[in-house]
A and B are shown apart, each in its own frame.
Chain A
Amino acid sequence: MQNILTYTLFSPLLGIAVLLFIGRAKQTLIKSVGIGASLLTFALSLLLYASFDAGTAAMQMTERAVWIAGLDISYIVGVDGLSVLLILLTAFLTPIALIASWSSITDRLKEYVSFMLLLEVGMLGVFMAGDLFLFYVFWEAMLIPMYFIIGIWGGKERIYAAVKFFLYTMAGSLLMLIAILWLGYYASTLPGGQFTTDLAKLSAVAPGIPLTLQSWMFAAFALSFAIKVPLFPLHTWLPDAHVQAPTAGSVILAGVLLKMGTYGLLRFCLPLFPQASFAFTPLMSVLAVVGIVYGALVAMVQTDVKKLVAYSSVSHLGFVVLGIFSMTEEGIQGAVLQMINHGLSTGALFLLVGMIYDRRHTREISQFGGLAKVMPVFSTMFLIVTLSSIGLPGLNGFVGEFLILLGSFNSMFLGTPVYAAVAATGVIFSAVYMLWMVQRVFFGAVTHDENRSLTDLTKREIGLLLPVLLFIVWIGVAPSAFLKPSAAATKQIVTQMHQAKTGTAVPAGTTAQ
């Protein structure tokens, strides 16, 4: 199918176009249109996946059109093994998030649905863009809908959270803009070169930048991505944004937005600035490991379930960063898979927290207790997702974490298994804070009378969670199907990093472990 990427990317806009003609009183219709549009996008993304060739590391289904000729800015979209699953994840989570807000959002519904669909365009664009200018446009434009979603439909401290989210992200991305400009300028200074933001062209020249300058470039890009991930100590916007955002906002934030940071590190920082990546590996890895432990410890002492889940993200994303900077095939593949895993399990956790909040209007752990007796279905599902989140073998989380630990243990770039060893404690901590929370919320006697009359999940809510649970089990049992798409692209990056480390003259055989 021609132009499938463009169709997928902009299909949510179709929903917005339809919404323009619907009166704001027709709430059911508005919701149906939103869900319909996002399902269409999901269907298109499945089509896209069906024609994806896992055997090659190259960008596929590439489309290009001249956008601004003078500065060689083009509309270039494409997918490869690093992005294809993230595109699927985005298209998968958006309808779920919309359905999740079926009854919880009634105020200014039309705007809400429009913002969610706009957000989806932005996220898909980030994962598809093959031009740095285009990437930046989507990266920034996506802030606007998220800002409104937190600010209008969020909790009590929503204004503070929304502004903080916006400013933090802007702070990082503006410096990235300078780095993009500088890269384009650098390309123009080479013999026969021209100012460009085409990623493919830049990938050919950027690794040749002298180390000092490369480090500045790396720092500018990495800062932007590290804020998004978020990497310790740049994570402070995250608990605010997550806790204040409405359920669907949290699902998208945790499920997709955070991945944009790790995706950026993998897509841009490593291949464009290999030498600087080596130089920064110790710093990034230390921060990743600190984040793993710190996030887990802070999560442990939270009294609010949503905040606990939010801090657990800091910990889990630390694993992803560590996996990326191990620069081994296991580590990077694990990182790519872990991005998906985290999107599924944390997305599901936020959905579950939202469901209990809709019933009890509190998220304080101390307000619960013994829910397993009152809400057996809810409790079962929560437990499954919890086990996935802490990495129980047989569920998805285990595969990703295991690969990352394996990769970072062996990595010649990290040089020492210490990182892996410390990170492994994070696995234990995560079991502690999650299971401790589960124990206090679900087991024991029912201590609060308000909890006795809670109703169990509705059919809609179960229907919402089942697809997520399906993938949680599927990835856990048969991970190879989900590792295959990223294999070729990962191998290429790892090979490239090895060549950069050891000099290009080295025969290909040495790239093996």
Chain B
Amino acid sequence: MDFIPLSDLIGGAAILAVGLFSLAALTITAFFPKARTAVFVTALLGAAAGIVFAGYSFPDNQTAFSDMLLVGGFANFYSILFLVIAVLTMVLSAPYMEKEGYRHSEFYVLVLFAAIGMMMMGASGDLITMFLGLEVMSVTFYVMAGLFRAKLTSNESSLKYFLLGAFATGFLLYGIALIYGTTGTTNLIRIAAQFPQAFDQPLHVIGWGLLLIGLAFKVGAFPFHMWVPDVYEGAPTSVTAFMSTGGKAAAFSAFILVFSIPMAMHDPRMTTVLAVLAAGSMIVGNWFGLSQTNLKRMLAYSSIAHAGYMLIGIASASPVGQQGITFYLVSYALTNLGAFGVVMMLETEKGEGVTYEEYAGLGRRKPVLAALLSMFMFSLTGIPPFAGFVGKYYLFASAVQSGLTWLAVLGVITSLISTYYYLRVVVYMYFRDGSAEEPSLPASSLAAVALSAAGILVLGIMPSLIFDVIVSMF
């Protein structure tokens, strides 16, 4: 059967495996709506199968499906990252969704669907692949944000995300069309062959600008960040955790591919625009983070700021920058999943228990949880020995090497601002007394959060563990 060459099937094995498992899980959902555990396990198995396939064919850099899909190295690394995020999300969400009274198992199916979209984005050798992946992921997110149908905030979050997201997708698609129109191809490598002369055409430049808008929206960067706080706050916390880690990682993986393979980021105009976006995101995210009193909303603003830090890596247009982003995404994913995991454990059915006030005295009531959350806050601040520091070090180093020292200086100044609001969480937990209802902590969630914390500590002390792998991919 020559319809699809075997090499293509092997190349897309991870995506196909996750796809098959997700369909199986969906089938179970349809016929046995109450078999939540079965769906949960099937979904976990699917993610595990994807990790195995991606890990198996890891080192070789190839392409499949007529250069549409990248295989090996970069794509597989990111696939593993997305699937690990998906697993952690599912493990953390199971008790949370039960607690919030959501008893439908399609949540796990949706997580896998989104993961498939992410994997396609991280493997895009073609703008069309990127677009397809982005849409699979985004549409799933629109649905997931509104999963709590009975809650007004969840509905608002979903609608807002959908309306604005659809707009952004429009920009993105128009950008792809213009690039296709000026170069005659959507394949990234063939577009790259026309660098830099293609940039002499205004329409080509406009195409990249539109593409940039679409991607900047997806990573939640200034000035396309307006949706982030409301969507993150309104969506179920488990979905927020997934969007802010997996969604962001996927968008950045596409960002790196789309901007680095065709070398668009080497155009000086592009560098300036990217640097401004990075600077704006760091300033806006951290500045508005200062006044937050709700942990979920604070983490939303913090995610805008971190998008800014990672954009430094794109703007610096160097391998160190892209390696830095990749490392940063790993550390950010673990940190944010951990932090949201803590939020999930403490949030009540009514959606309370997410303000700083309600965290007061946590250091005394739940010493382990408070210690873990403190570690996440210190990592987000970028204080050694946590992974967040190493990530920032790489990104700032890439900025300095690319002659963008001002961006690195801005990065450290905004980091200083962020110190204040991350520390406030610690202040409330340890330095103030308070009493709040004490939910019992599910062991599985606690284990997942502890694992994330261990991850950021180990990566902070021995970054080479994954950094050597990352370096080998670029």
Please indicate whether A and B come from the same complex rather than being unrelated chains.
Answer: yes
Interface residues of A (CB under 8 A from B): 67-71, 108, 111, 133, 136-138, 140-141, 143-144, 147-148, 151-152, 158-159, 162-163, 166-167, 170-171, 174-175, 177-178, 181-182, 184-185, 188, 195
Q: A166: which of B400, B401, B423 is its contact (CB, 8 Å)?
A: B423
Q: A178: which of B401, B409, B419, B426 is its contact (CB, 8 Å)?
A: B409
CA distance A195 to B396 in the complex (A): 13
**In angstroms, how far is the closest chain A Cβ from the Cβ of B279?**
15
User: Could you tell me if A178 and B431 are in contact, using CB atoms closer than 8 angstroms?
Assistant: no
When C-beta atoms are compared, the residue in chain B nearest to A70 turns out to be B471
Residues of B within 8 A of A159 (CB): 427, 431-432
Binding stretch for chain A, among B3-11, B80-88, B204-212, B378-386: B378-386
**In angstroms, how far is the closest chain A Cβ from the Cβ of B287?**
15
Ordered nearest first, which 9 A-B pairs have the shortest CB separation?
A174-B412, A137-B384, A181-B400, A151-B431, A141-B384, A159-B431, A185-B400, A181-B397, A140-B384
CA distance A70 to B427 in the complex (A): 37
User: Could you tell me if B397 and A185 are in contact, using CB atoms closer than 8 angstroms?
Assistant: yes
* With A141-B385, A174-B412, A175-B409: A148-B430 Cβ-Cβ less than 8 Å: yes
* With A67-B464, A174-B415: A167-B420 Cβ-Cβ less than 8 Å: yes
B421-443, CB under 8 A of A: which get 1 and which 0? Answer: 00100110011100000000000
Q: A185: which of B401, B463, B467 is its contact (CB, 8 Å)?
A: B401
* With A137-B384, A151-B430, A178-B412: A170-B419 Cβ-Cβ less than 8 Å: yes
Residues of A within 8 A of B367 (CB): 111
CA distance A170 to B426 in the complex (A): 16
Residues of B within 8 A of A167 (CB): 416, 419-420
Cβ-based interface call for B389 (8 A):
yes
CA distance A184 to B393 in the complex (A): 12
User: Could you tell me if A162 and B431 are in contact, using CB atoms closer than 8 angstroms?
Assistant: yes
User: Could you tell me if A195 and B430 are in contact, using CB atoms closer than 8 angstroms?
Assistant: no
* With A141-B383, A177-B393, A181-B400: A151-B427 Cβ-Cβ less than 8 Å: yes
List 26 contacting pairs A-B, 8 Å CB cutoff, sorted by A. A67-B464, A68-B464, A69-B464, A70-B467, A71-B394, A108-B363, A138-B384, A140-B383, A144-B383, A151-B427, A159-B431, A163-B423, A163-B427, A167-B416, A167-B420, A174-B413, A174-B416, A175-B412, A178-B396, A178-B412, A181-B393, A181-B408, A184-B397, A185-B401, A195-B397, A195-B401
Residues of B within 8 A of A71 (CB): 394, 397
User: Could you tell me if B431 and A68 are in contact, using CB atoms closer than 8 angstroms?
Assistant: no
Residues of B within 8 A of A143 (CB): 383
CA distance A151 to B420 in the complex (A): 14
Residues of A within 8 A of B420 (CB): 163, 167
**In angstroms, how far is the closest chain B Cβ from the Cβ of A111?**
8
CA distance A140 to B390 in the complex (A): 12
Knowing that A152-B430, A167-B419 are A-B contacts, what are 14 other residue pairs whose CB atoms are under 8 Å apart, sorted by A's residue number?
A68-B463, A69-B464, A69-B468, A140-B389, A144-B383, A147-B426, A162-B431, A167-B420, A170-B419, A174-B412, A177-B393, A181-B400, A185-B401, A195-B401
Residues of B within 8 A of A195 (CB): 397, 401
**In angstroms, how far is the closest chain A Cβ from the Cβ of B373?**
14
Interface residues of B (CB under 8 A from A): 323, 363-364, 367, 378, 383-385, 389, 393-394, 396-397, 400-401, 405, 408-409, 412-413, 415-416, 419-420, 423, 426-427, 430-432, 463-464, 467-468, 471
Residues of B within 8 A of A133 (CB): 393
Residues of B within 8 A of A141 (CB): 383-385
CA distance A185 to B471 in the complex (A): 18
User: Could you tell me if B405 and A182 are in contact, using CB atoms closer than 8 angstroms?
Assistant: yes
**In angstroms, how far is the closest chain B Cβ from the Cβ of A2?**
22
Residues of A within 8 A of B396 (CB): 177-178, 181
Residues of A within 8 A of B426 (CB): 147, 151
Counting chain A CB atoms within 10 Å of each CB, the highest count among B363, B394, B423 belongs to B423
CA distance A24 to B410 in the complex (A): 44
CA distance A151 to B415 in the complex (A): 21
**In angstroms, how far is the closest chain B Cβ from the Cβ of A155?**
12
Residues of B within 8 A of A136 (CB): 384
**In angstroms, how far is the closest chain B Cβ from the Cβ of A194?**
12
* With A140-B389, A148-B430, A159-B427: A68-B413 Cβ-Cβ less than 8 Å: no
**In angstroms, how far is the closest chain B Cβ from the Cβ of A324?**
26
User: Could you tell me if A178 and B400 are in contact, using CB atoms closer than 8 angstroms?
Assistant: yes
CA distance A147 to B377 in the complex (A): 14
**In angstroms, how far is the closest chain A Cβ from the Cβ of B422?**
10
User: Could you tell me if A188 and B383 are in contact, using CB atoms closer than 8 angstroms?
Assistant: no
**In angstroms, how far is the closest chain B Cβ from the Cβ of A224?**
11
Counting chain A CB atoms within 10 Å of each CB, the highest count among B363, B385, B397, B408 belongs to B397
**In angstroms, how far is the closest chain B Cβ from the Cβ of A247?**
18
**In angstroms, how far is the closest chain B Cβ from the Cβ of A16?**
13
When C-beta atoms are compared, the residue in chain A nearest to B398 turns out to be A181
Residues of A within 8 A of B364 (CB): 108
When C-beta atoms are compared, the residue in chain A nearest to B406 turns out to be A178
CA distance A369 to B397 in the complex (A): 58
CA distance A427 to B393 in the complex (A): 44
User: Could you tell me if B397 and A68 are in contact, using CB atoms closer than 8 angstroms?
Assistant: no
CA distance A182 to B403 in the complex (A): 10
CA distance A136 to B382 in the complex (A): 12
Residues of B within 8 A of A182 (CB): 400, 405
Residues of B within 8 A of A175 (CB): 409, 412
Residues of A within 8 A of B412 (CB): 174-175, 177-178
Residues of B within 8 A of A108 (CB): 363-364
Residues of A within 8 A of B397 (CB): 71, 181, 184-185, 195
* With A68-B467, A174-B412: A166-B430 Cβ-Cβ less than 8 Å: no
**In angstroms, how far is the closest chain B Cβ from the Cβ of A113?**
15
**In angstroms, how far is the closest chain B Cβ from the Cβ of A226?**
16
